[in-house]
Amino acid sequence: MFMEKGRVTIPTDANFVEGTKQIAKLWGADAVRDCDGVSLPKNANELAKYVYNTYFVVRGDNAWGRKHPEEAQRIFLESNRIIADGKQLIIDVSKGFLKEEIAPDFDNINRWQVFDRTTNEEIKSWHLKDNLVVIDSLPFHEYSVDFLARVTWHPVQIYNYLTNSWTCEKQLCYDPAYPHTKEYIKSYLRKWLEEHKETNVVRFTTFLYQFNLIFNDKGKERMVDWFGYGEAASIPLLDGFEKETHLKMEAEDFISNGSYNSPFKMPTEKYKKYIDYVQRFVSSTMKELIDIVHSYKKETMMFLGDDWIGSEPYGPYFKNMGLDSVVGSVGGGVTIRMLGEIPHVKIHEGRFLPYFFPDTFFEGNEDNAVAELEKNWVTARRALLRCPLDRMGFGGYLSLASKFPKFVNRVASICDEFRLICDTSSKSRPYSSLKVGILNCWGKLRSWQAHMVAHELWYQQIYSYQGVYEALSGLPVDVSFLSFDDILNNDIPSDIDVILNVGEERSAFTGDKYWKNPVLVEKIRKFVSNGHGFVGIGMPSSTDSLEHCFALSDVLGVQVEKGLTLSIDKYNIEKKSSFITKDCTDQIDYGEGCKNIYALDNAAVLDIDFSSRFKRNVNVGEVKLAYNDYFKGRGVYLAGLPYSGQNARLLYRSLLYACHKEDKLNMAFSSNYNVEVAYYPSLGMYALINNSNKAQETFFFNFSGESKKIKLEPNQMLWEK
Amino acid sequence: MFMEKGRVTIPTDANFVEGTKQIAKLWGADAVRDCDGVSLPKNANELAKYVYNTYFVVRGDNAWGRKHPEEAQRIFLESNRIIADGKQLIIDVSKGFLKEEIAPDFDNINRWQVFDRTTNEEIKSWHLKDNLVVIDSLPFHEYSVDFLARVTWHPVQIYNYLTNSWTCEKQLCYDPAYPHTKEYIKSYLRKWLEEHKETNVVRFTTFLYQFNLIFNDKGKERMVDWFGYGEAASIPLLDGFEKETHLKMEAEDFISNGSYNSPFKMPTEKYKKYIDYVQRFVSSTMKELIDIVHSYKKETMMFLGDDWIGSEPYGPYFKNMGLDSVVGSVGGGVTIRMLGEIPHVKIHEGRFLPYFFPDTFFEGNEDNAVAELEKNWVTARRALLRCPLDRMGFGGYLSLASKFPKFVNRVASICDEFRLICDTSSKSRPYSSLKVGILNCWGKLRSWQAHMVAHELWYQQIYSYQGVYEALSGLPVDVSFLSFDDILNNDIPSDIDVILNVGEERSAFTGDKYWKNPVLVEKIRKFVSNGHGFVGIGMPSSTDSLEHCFALSDVLGVQVEKGLTLSIDKYNIEKKSSFITKDCTDQIDYGEGCKNIYALDNAAVLDIDFSSRFKRNVNVGEVKLAYNDYFKGRGVYLAGLPYSGQNARLLYRSLLYACHKEDKLNMAFSSNYNVEVAYYPSLGMYALINNSNKAQETFFFNFSGESKKIKLEPNQMLWEK
């Protein structure tokens, strides 16, 4: 009865049993899953080898939530900022928030803080009256209240509820850091397991604490941060942390002047310690729950999203949970790598796009559905060749997809491609010409998670940096994530060829104050001088210095003109050709780029933008791409790098050039950047992939550098021996 | 013999006496001047009422300079920055500089400083060997030497010499802070006056210290700063300052981490004290020289340029000199105002463009010469209507100009226009609808001198701010320059309607650390709340805060997204129409603009740029123009404002709107922004000027608001009663 092909999960529901069987056969699916708003057929385990069932840990049982409001989850929030026009200011902290989502915790106002935001100092002269904060204010100072609130509606349910106009009950969420609730969720899990005999994989959606997702008083999102620990402001955890570390986490430690500790902000040591503490609690608690599941001979799967806070799959405590598998949605190559490299689990599953939802699967929209599928697959495929997942799947209503035969057939061939990739790359590691170390504040902890705000959402301020990771996800290079502390404490690992520093000015991804540490600067300079590379994208090594913003301008060959050195003439404005730009056929796209970058005398300017307003031969032009010989190594600067085929190639050549490995270029290579090559040395196999939806011709170079002309169909994958 | 019309100065030379007479008559010129490379005719005082003769104070007498090399002028320079690759680093400080311009002062190496630029700390472990600096270095640290040098060739002469391939002797320059030299220049002046009977105006070009102008080893400019006090690093002045203040000015006080105290940099208190000290010396020394000139019954004129450092026409000591007149070149409206408002001199003269030099006055180029004249005149004229000069003039070789009859005739009519403007506005102050206070670090001291690097040169980083002053120079508003200290010490003057804060992030023109002073912030907020306006252009009130960069975001209604608050959703992205933008016919030009500006909830977004890459209805768009109601007043934000007719109008409307004076718009007004109106209440006269080189129709509104349609010829000035 079960499919032989395997590795594929499909959604199903009680009303589509026969259709499920047909499609499962065509796609080789060996697992079925439920989906929001539908239930699994009773005989689900006749449909597939594996039956996944969604499980919520901290929401869903409103009877429990209602009975124990004091054990609700908590979050610290900042009220609106208000200007005082007199000596007394009254602030209604809940103004601007969705009333149903949060309730100010008036029982714990000892944990609230009031700030004069004009001086950014805490003030003590305030009191609560009729649930309003009354402040003894200074006229024309700005104030806000950091207040603790109970979370009275699960944020992800709010999203689904409001988006789909649901009318079901609003789910409360309860905090398992309270022993009472913890015992309850364990007993509830046992009960649930008893009742779900058909399930053999418990799909946790998710664990204990939701990422920051706060709605405004119009029911629209007010704040979203996929990495936010705001809802891990659990009272027992705060107290436990204080007891253990003698450090008190206060409201402002969460609010952080309104940044809510965005991962873009340099984390404080205290904050880093707290998230470590939360991780330990999440890991140990989940271990107990996972052990229970295992005792029922079922497997456990984590959905990488929703209440994933504190799980940190790349953190030191993740392995302790004993989890069997992870599943996450696939937005492109970065998410493939983020999922695929998670250690200590047996199975990594990716949920591909599009969802089988009515917004895509309506009559007449089949071509668009296929195009979305194709784009998602092609972007993911190049990363899969570097780092395969174990399984793939889809979500939504299979009955909707079944009405689009072209779509169903293309998924079938994609499933075959997927299985071929998995089987091949599970037998041989793909060839890498060099190893890149991505240097930021988070290092390994946030591997493949840099420059995200809300999962997969486009932000104008980040796409020019996200493209770097997307490009890397499919390049024939090894990638590791290093933190500044790693380098300061342990030196640069000896296998690193190129260090990459990417991001906006003074952010956690470029490093800010770390670049004022001469030890770091010395180590990088020495590393490059020994023949390695340093590639900076955006505002690498940026500091708060207005005269010499880039601490490594000597390595990069470029500096930022912040207006204080306009009096120094800049003559290096002539564009040169180079190994780096050799494959560029179109104008290079730097995305948002960076302004006011100029080249130092010895740098080679590879691309520079001139204003059309005025022509001079000095003090003009904004450098977008440059390299700089630095003793035996090289620095390379790029102003930004949104993902595209040309940019992936540009990055690859920059990396090779930076560490003087130009001679490795024509080894397992395609002259046309729309086609990429993955090489599996121990099998002697080459996978050629056409990443474009047009036919492409290319010169394919094997590992010995011998070339031949090859033609690929749109999106084709081709294997060569 | 002398012309009756007057107010005009022309260049002449011994070979063009008859031609001079004819043109002088046509233009109504009453003064002749000499010019570089020519000498005045012997009978110059028969040609005109006034004869100007150029006089150099600290250069020209090489015999003296050679005899007293120890009394040469000095400058502090920073050597190239060099990375140490070992434990010893050798730096040749003169590398990269023009050998003939400067000579390292090895006799005063006690005034040199060596810096580890990686830590930016001074290091003491270095010595001089064979005129090279030998440093005990830390590997991979960067070093530079702040060294004292004698100036061995006058920088302005270098420029002329190299530009015109001269072969004459290279002029030394000597420092009148040495008593010996001071006595000498006084006696030399007496001798010169004796020898120049025909001269009745001594045109000082200029006084004692040259602005920073340093050439590189290829004879090209290396550094230029029209405000730089580098060459006022006189040893006697340094010592005198230390004796008076007990503060030691060290090399790094001049180098300032490579910024050379650019006026864009927040000045230190010590530096401000030193420039005050230099001003006192320049003023008292020039007083002595000017007294000598007066004792010969001649008048004195200062050329505003070259060795003008320490004169600071808007400073507190300028009046003490007893100077009669100033002359400066006219680049546009800003230079008109900069010259015209200089206090304590009787005569303000502007030298208009183009120069009568062969680069413009060659055969076949007459139309271009006329166009340049027209453009210069039209840009200047709108400022003259607000603030007239007393005299105008030209430079170069009159014989060249005489070959272009169209040009000669247009100058004649311009001279008439000039005299009419002068006569009218000397009888009545033009009407102003409001008063603007431009708030920056320099205040009154640098009135109309903000955002300049080298006089009149275009820089991509400043034209978007220079345009603000250019626009203001001809608008019917009063303008004053305020420093932050003025406001902190004395409150905001009661006659100010709108405060303007303009410039790039954290510069001296926006104020940087001043915005961390809550007293300043309170005062501005209170000022606006009382019904006044605050207009910010570029990065107004910017601080080093990454979460809340604009200290006055509450007033402006906008804030900067530096990447740390991406998680907070921004919904205010809808463009509204407004009084401010009502006259805009073309897309608004913000110049370089500013990136990542978003609107707070209550602001009105008037212009916003969207990326073509992605369409969302939240977290997108970059606000370029917005206003914000703030209690009884308003804040207005503009991302930049290069000068144009439309932008001048945009600024005017912004100012009116900010302080709720919209009802003043249609009083002495032109509906078409290419035409501007100056109104002289006590004469009941209106000057209408067409600033464009096309004919224009407009509705002219008189002071009572009555309108009529008027047509103006290209560039025409029209007077209405």
The half-sphere exposure of B492 on its side-chain side, counting CA atoms within 13 A, is: 25
Please judge whether A85 and B258 are an interchain contact, meaning their C-beta atoms are less than 8 angstroms apart.
Answer: no
The pLDDT of residue A4 is: 65
B264 three-state secondary structure: coil
Residues in chain A within 8 Å Cβ distance of B85: 529, 631
Contact A558, A623 (CB under 8 A): yes
Contact at CB, B562 and A504, closer than 8 angstroms? yes
| Helices A366-386 + A405-427 axis angle, to 10 | 0
Q: Which amino acid is at B688?
A: L
Q: Is A367 considered catalytic here?
A: no
For residue B497, what pLDDT is reported?
A: 98
Cα separation, B647 vs A464, in Å, equals: 32
| Nearest residue to A325 via CA among A624, A9, A105 | A9
| DSSP secondary structure code for residue A511 in this structure | -
Residue closest to B335 by CA, chosen among B395, B394, B389, B399: B389
Using CA atoms in the order A103, A105, A111, A116, what is the torsion angle rounded to 10 degrees?
50
3-state secondary structure at position A479: strand
Contacts of A221 in chain B (CB under 8 A): 569, 618
Residue from B116, B215, B268, B566 whose CB has the most chain A CBs within 10 Å, to mutate: B566
Q: Please give the domain boundaries of chain B with CATH numbers for all domains.
A: 8-57+178-221+266-427 (3.20.20.80), 434-663 (3.40.50.880), 669-720 (2.60.40.1180)
Segments in chain B below pLDDT 50? 1-3
Kindly determine whether residue B564 and residue A505, on different chains, have CB atoms separated by under 8 Å: no
Please state, in angstroms and rounded to a whole number, the distance separating the CA atoms of residues B11 and B50.
12
Chain-chain contact of B566 with A142 (C-beta, under 8 angstroms): no
Q: What residue type is assigned to position B23 of the chain?
A: I
CB A375 within 8 A of CB A410: no
Query: Does the beta-carbon distance from B222 to A619 stay under 8 Å?
Result: no
Q: Do A256 and B228 touch (CB under 8 A)?
A: no
> Which among B453, B503, B518 is the nearest to A567, CB-wise?
B453
Q: What is the pLDDT of residue A641?
A: 98
Q: Which residues of chain A make contact with B462, given a CB cutoff of 8 A?
A: 563, 566
User: Nearest-CA residue of chain A relative to B561?
Assistant: A461
Helix axes A366-386, A333-340, angle to 10 degrees: 50
Burial letters B702-714, b for 16+ CB under 10 A, else e = beeeeeeebebee
Q: Name residue, tokens 């004022």.
A: A516
Provide the token pair at B497.
Answer: 């309607």
Q: What is the pLDDT of residues B483-524, one digit of tens each?
A: 999 999 999 999 999 999 999 999 999 999 999 999 999 999
- The amino acid present at A637, given as its one-letter code, is Y
Task: Please judge whether A458 and B521 are an interchain contact, meaning their C-beta atoms are less than 8 angstroms apart.
Answer: no
CA closest to B228 among chain A residues: A567
Decide: A467 and A333 in contact? Cβ < 8 Å.
no
Do A263 and A446 meet the contact criterion of CB atoms below 8 Å apart? yes
The pLDDT score that the predictor gives to residue B4 is: 65
CA nearest to B462 within chain A: A563
pLDDT at B291: 98
Q: What is the ipTM of this complex?
A: 0.96
CA distance A565 to chain B (A): 5
Beta-ladder partners of B479: B436
Torsion, CA B88, CA B92, CA B93, CA B94, rounded to 10: -170
What is the enclosing helix (H) or strand (E) of A132? strand A132-136
Contact B337, B474 (CB under 8 A): no
Catalytic residue among A34, A175, A306, A478: A306
Beta-carbon separation of A547 and B258 below 8 A: yes
Do residues B472 and B433 touch, judged by C-beta distance below 8 A? no
Nearest CA in chain A to B504: A563
Task: List the single residue in B262, B462, B614 with the smallest CB-CB distance to A564.
Answer: B262
Q: What is the dihedral of CA B445, B447, B448, B453, to 10 degrees?
A: 10
What pLDDT is recorded for position A512? 96
HEC secondary structure over B592-646: CCCCCEEECCCCEEEEEECCCCCCCCCCCCEEEEEEEEECCEEEEEECCCCCCHH
Mutate which of B567, B619, B630 to disrupt the A interface (most A C-beta within 10 Å)?
A: B567
Phi-psi region of A448 (alpha: psi -120 to 50; beta: other; left: phi over 0): left
Low-confidence spans in chain A with pLDDT less than 70: 1-4
**Which candidate in A115, A564, A644 is best for mutational testing of the B interface (most B CBs within 10 A)?**
A564
Query: Contact B74/B192 with Cβ under 8 angstroms?
Result: no
Is A518–B119 a contact, with Cβ atoms under 8 angstroms apart? yes
Alpha-helix runs per DSSP H in B199-268:
235-245, 251-255
pLDDT tens-digit map of A659-718: 999 999 999 999 999 999 999 999 999 999 999 999 999 999 999 999 999 999 999 999
Given A264, A564, A571, which is nearest B564 (Cβ)? Answer: A264
Chain A: residue whose CA lies nearest to B216: A569
Residue A570's identity, in one-letter code, is K
At residue B1, the pLDDT reads: 44
**Chain pair A-B, CB pairs under 8 angstroms:** 198
H-run or E-run covering A689: strand A685-690
Residues of chain A in contact with residue B117, where contact means CB-CB under 8 angstroms, are 548
List the single residue in B221, B256, B614 with the smallest CB-CB distance to A569.
B221
Judging contacts by C-beta atoms under 8 Å, the chain B residues touching residue A611 are 460
Smallest CA–CA separation between B529 and chain A, in Å?
Answer: 9
Q: How far is B323 from chain A (nearest CA, A)?
A: 30
Biggest alpha carbon–alpha carbon distance for chain A: 81
Chain A residues inside the 8 Å CB shell of B141: 518, 522
Q: Which of B30, B306, B497, B512 is catalytic?
A: B306
Alpha carbon distance B513, B269 (integer Å): 13
Distance from CA of A526 to the nearest CA of B (A): 7
Task: With CB atoms and an 8 Å threshold, state whether A567 touches B212.
Answer: yes
Among the partner-chain residues A554, A563, A611, the one whose CB lies closest to the CB of B142 is: A554
Angstrom distance (rounded) from CA B648 to CA B674: 10
SS3 A223: strand
Q: Do B522 and A548 touch (CB under 8 A)?
A: no
